[in-house]
Structure 1
Amino acid sequence: MSVTYTTLLQGNNVRLQGGFLGLSSVVLVEAGGLRILVDTGHHVTRHMLLDALKVRGLSPADIDVVFLTHLHFDHANNVDLFESARIMVSQTEWDYAHRPHAEDQLVPCGVTRILSDMNVDIFTGEPEICPGVQALATPGHTPGHMSLVLRTEDKGTVVIAGDAIKYPKETLTGRCDMAFDRVERGTASIARIMQIADRIIPGHFPEIYKVGDNRYAWDEGAEFNLVIR
């Protein structure tokens, strides 16, 4: 069965001094007759997401499944657009969002309330969404963080990593750069992804691809086009 994917919004790790822009990757997966959206971005990229869908002749109503890697604002804020979709969140992440780490200021107020009014699927384990598309537990950045593994015909095993791997630095060092769970768990998750992935879509960087044992490269860096008006 064919599994294809398109990056609708490219992640970027640009930040402000003392602040955070949170431009995360949003990926559309098509497999098994389903359209699966991995993460939804936040309000800064809301119109960009709608435009990216529109260019492909799609609207939020055409998305069957929204898979949220975790419940930080930059990955989950636009989930309210997808009223008819099945929203997948891990049980551990759901519980974490009710009582986040004291230093975690990235869980948006009311996200669990919004999700409670939607068709939310709170899952355990590593479910297969359809043949060739399976959830992968990658805790560390948050306790319930999940990635998505795609078995593709043309690009091998592709892992949509969310913030389990935010940018190439974490593949170069093999160490989790930001953990609201434990650094050691995040580091183990990085190793797990790198062991299986031919390609990785990081949470805040363009797609990278394997060029050797535990070595990844990329064709172009992330762009940040700033318009001053």
Structure 2
Amino acid sequence: MATVDVLIQGYPGRATHHGGLGWSTVTLVRHGPHVILVDVGAFGARKPILNALRKHGVEPADVTDVVLTHAHYDHAVNFTLFPRATVWIGDAELSWAAAQPPGFNPIPELYVRELCSSERVHRIQDGETFLPGLQAIAAPGHTPGHLLFYLTASDDPVLFTGDAAKNRAELLSMTVADTDDARESARSLEKIWEIWRRRPGTLLIPGHDLSMRLDAAGRPAYVGERAAEIGAWFSETLQQTKIDLCCAPRIDFSQYAAQ
């Protein structure tokens, strides 16, 4: 059976003054001869990915397959770090990304060009089981060719949602931030819920949040604990100020009760 280890846990947020954080989920799947990475993160994740791989006894050259939910930079650019890997990406997604002119968007134009020309890139279709026990499922909206991946080769099924469902808030509200097509995204969210409810115990791994399972009431419950922190140099020395980003601030609403 396949084993699944989240190497980098995605983070559900963005910087208010500096744009997207690009902190996306990177997952290691090992199944028989296959050593698979589902999404490969942004530039800033390179050293953490390498360290996490080595903790699991994996070197970059051991990775046999890189599986991309979509072409945005924070999920795709590090495919270049795995020289022996076959790279899998949706046919519709890559065709769309390649047709976009350079612009102020998350598409890494030069990396998309390499994906289009590289002989080790394989384009996959909606519904295709392209690796043993791993099926691609169309989930457009965030991008036109975005794919979900559904793993049935593990003890419990695993649903990789990428940015079709970036976080728990999107799953519960049935609305998404950052989408090319809100109606398509809403339909993709409905599809995600249908697949998630199909088998009890299914693990959902989103693009920018902790993994989740459905609890007894059918609500998303986090698996694991969030870890997120920034070290900043605010003083006159190199001693860092640590800023904890792992939890929402606790707000005492009682002071507003009489107003």
Q: TM-score, normalised by structure 2?
A: 0.81
Unaligned runs of 5+ residues in structure 2 are: 197-201, 233-237, 239-259
Residue 134 of structure 1 and its aligned partner are, at CA, apart by 1.2
Would you say the 8 A contact 1:150–1:158 is kept in 2? Answer: yes
- After superposition, residues 178-217 of structure 1 pair within 5 angstroms as 178-180=178-180, 182-197=181-196, 198-212=202-216, 215-217=219-221
Mapped contact 1:94–1:144 kept (Cα < 8 A): yes
| Aligned residues with identical type, % of pairs | 33
Larger Cα Rg: Structure 1 or Structure 2?
A: 2
Over residues 124-161 of structure 1, what are the superposed CA-to-partner deviations in whole Å (9 max), with x where a residue is unaligned? Answer: 2322133322111111100110111112553x321011
Where do residues 70-85 of structure 1 align in structure 2 (5 Å cutoff)?
70-85=70-85
Q: 5+ unaligned residues in a row in structure 1: which ranges? A: none
Q: Give the 3-state SS of the residue equivalent to 2:220 in structure 1.
A: strand
Q: Match of 2:230, SS?
A: coil
Taking structure 1 as reference, are residues 123 and 132 closer, same or farther at Cα in structure 2, changes over 3 Å only?
Answer: closer
Bigger shift: 70-79 or 109-118? Answer: 109-118
Q: Secondary structure at the match of 1:227?
A: strand
Match of 1:130 in 2: 131
Give 1:97 deviation, angstroms: 0.8
* Cα displacement (A) at 1:92: 0.7
Change over 3 Å in CA distance of 1:60–1:128 after alignment to 2: same
C-alpha separation in 1, matches of 2:72 and 2:34: 25
| SS of equivalent to 2:158 | strand
| Per-residue CA distance 1:14-36 (angstroms, 9 max, x = gap) | 32114111100001111242111
Larger displacement relative to structure 2 (110-119 or 2-11): 110-119
* Paired letter, 1:114: E
In structure 1, C-alpha distance between the alignment counterparts of 2:112 and 2:102, rounded to whole Å: 18
> CA–CA distance in 2 between the matches of 1:117 and 1:153?
30
2:21 is aligned with 1:21: yes
Distance 1:73-1:86 versus aligned 2 partners, 3 A rule = same
2:246 alignment counterpart: none
Aligned to 2:93: 93
CA distance in 2, matches of 1:164, 1:56: 28
- Point out the more displaced range, 41-50 or 169-178: 169-178
TM-fit CA distance, 1:45: 0.6
Higher relative contact order (CA 8 A, sep 6+): 1
Q: What amino acid maps onto 2:85 in structure 1?
A: A
Report if the CA contact (8 A) 1:176-1:184 is conserved.
no
TM-score by length of 1: 0.91
Q: Are the counterparts in 1 of residues 135 and 150 from structure 2 also a CA contact under 8 Å?
A: yes
One-letter amino acid of the counterpart of residue 122, structure 1: R
Distance 1:178 1:49, change over 3 A: same
Root-mean-square deviation (CA, aligned residues, Å) is 2.0
In structure 1, what is the equivalent of residue 243 of structure 2? Answer: none
1:176 CA displacement:
2.9
Q: Residue 73 and residue 217 in structure 1: after superposition, are their counterparts in 2 closer, same or farther (change >3 A)?
A: same
Match of 2:122 in 1: 121
Kindly tell me the number of residue pairs found equivalent between the two proteins. 226
Aligned letter for 1:136?
A: I
Q: Relative to structure 2, which stretch is displaced further, 120-129 or 42-51?
A: 120-129
* CA 212–141 in structure 1, closer or farther in 2 if over 3 Å, else same: farther
Q: Compare 208-217 and 55-64 and name the one that shifted more.
A: 208-217
